[in-house]
């Protein structure tokens, strides 16, 4: 049986879903797992914090980065001698040295970019290190010759009391704040119930339309929360052409979705009855969107975007070269 290694960030515990997916759907291979994120570094005192600031400015030496790299060295040291493939999600979190070491362990070093290239310039600099690169962004695939691999859903809908509130839970960074504020004002004006949740960021931006969480909600719990609402809001970043997890999760749970990401029109599950595309330059949401029921999507189409399909795409060429 071939051995593969999956390396993924621990963001919102979604890595657990991915790892369970490989365990359940990649039965033809043995899968090891590793995180490429680390426990947050805690300064011992204020003096160490100030010292690190000065060290970064004058010596180009960051004690937090040194700490993180030592952790990764320990993780890499216990890897098997060789893997049939190593699949790295968010490889830009690793150094060139670490990626080169991984490449020495496998004939198939595979990257998955689940963010648009322009958001993380380092991704352009490390393309040459990989034997294959997958991307969720359709425009990046066309521009750089990547293989397309969308995000996925795995959570099936449960019978719950459906709330018609427009719901969104997301990391809301500075660039998207104006859109959420505009949407909140629009929904208030039209007396449409809504609930926007985000974890308080370092930027400490504030909006009367957003609820702030002290801690991130684990991914599995977040999905259960999504299941309570009938209509999900997805606001893409400027110049984002890949579809977020929210869109696939909504499809899997049979939810309607409101989004500004026009790329969704290119997908076979697109149905204007279920997916409303908005334009923030001329924001309109017809009442009929709230009044008409969700129209079921063909099961064969839905299964193309299930976690099972995601995993089988990654391992397919290894099992059947």
Task: Please name the residue ranges forming H helices in 239-306.
Answer: 245-252, 288-291, 299-303
| Chain segment 144-195, per-residue pLDDT in tens | 999 999 999 987 666 666 788 999 998 877 778 889 999 999 999 999 999 9
pLDDT at residue number 102: 96
Residue with tokens 């034997």: 131
pLDDT at 320: 61
pLDDT for 321? 56
DSSP 306: B
Q: What is the CATH classification number for the domain harbouring 276?
A: 3.40.50.2000
Burial of 12-36, coded b for 16+ CB within 10 Å and e otherwise, reads bebbebbbebbeebbeebbbbbbbb
pLDDT of residue 204: 67
280 shares a domain with 168: yes
Same domain membership, residue 194 and residue 92: no
Question: How much of the chain exceeds pLDDT 70, in percent?
Answer: 93
Domain count, the chain: 2
Give me the domain span that covers residue 100. Answer: 2-152+306-319
**CA 298, CA 300: separation in Å to the nearest integer?**
6
Reported as a single tens digit per residue, the pLDDT across 114-127 is 888 888 889 999 99
Residue 158 maps to a domain:
no
Residues 16, 66 within the same domain:
yes
């Amino acid at each position: 049986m071939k051995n593969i290694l999956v390396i993924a960030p621990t963001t919102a515990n979604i890595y657990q879903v991915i790892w369970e997916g490989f365990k359940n759907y990649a039965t033809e291979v043995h899968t090891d797992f590793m995180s490429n994120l680390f426990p947050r570094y805690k300064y011992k005192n204020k003096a160490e914090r100030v010292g690190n600031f000065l060290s970064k400015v004058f010596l180009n030496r960051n004690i937090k980065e040194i700490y993180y790299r030592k952790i990764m060295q320990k993780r890499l040291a216990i890897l098997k001698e060789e893997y049939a493939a190593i699949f790295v999600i968010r490889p830009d979190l690793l150094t060139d040295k670490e990626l080169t070491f991984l490449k020495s362990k496998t004939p198939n070093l595979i990257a998955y970019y689940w963010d648009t290239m322009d958001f993380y310039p380092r991704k352009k600099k490390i393309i040459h290190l990989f034997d294959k690169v997958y991307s969720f962004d359709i425009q990046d695939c066309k521009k750089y010759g990547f293989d397309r691999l969308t995000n996925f859903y795995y959570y099936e809908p449960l019978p719950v009391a459906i709330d018609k509130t427009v719901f969104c839970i997301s990391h809301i960074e500075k660039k998207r704040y104006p859109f959420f504020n505009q949407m909140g004002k629009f929904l208030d004006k039209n007396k449409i119930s809504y609930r926007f949740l985000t974890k308080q960021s370092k930027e400490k931006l504030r909006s009367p339309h957003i609820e702030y969480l002290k801690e991130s909600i684990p991914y599995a719990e977040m999905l259960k929360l999504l299941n309570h609402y009938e209509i999900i809001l997805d606001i893409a970043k400027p110049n984002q052409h890949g579809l977020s997890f929210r869109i696939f999760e909504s499809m899997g749970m049979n939810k309607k979705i409101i989004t500004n990401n026009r790329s969704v029109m290119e997908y076979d599950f697109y149905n204007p009855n279920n997916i409303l595309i908005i334009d923030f330059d001329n924001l309109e949401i017809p009442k009929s969107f709230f009044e008409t029921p969700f129209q079921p999507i063909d099961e064969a189409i839905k299964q193309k975007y299930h976690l099972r399909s995601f995993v089988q795409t990654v391992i397919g060429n290894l099992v059947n070269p």
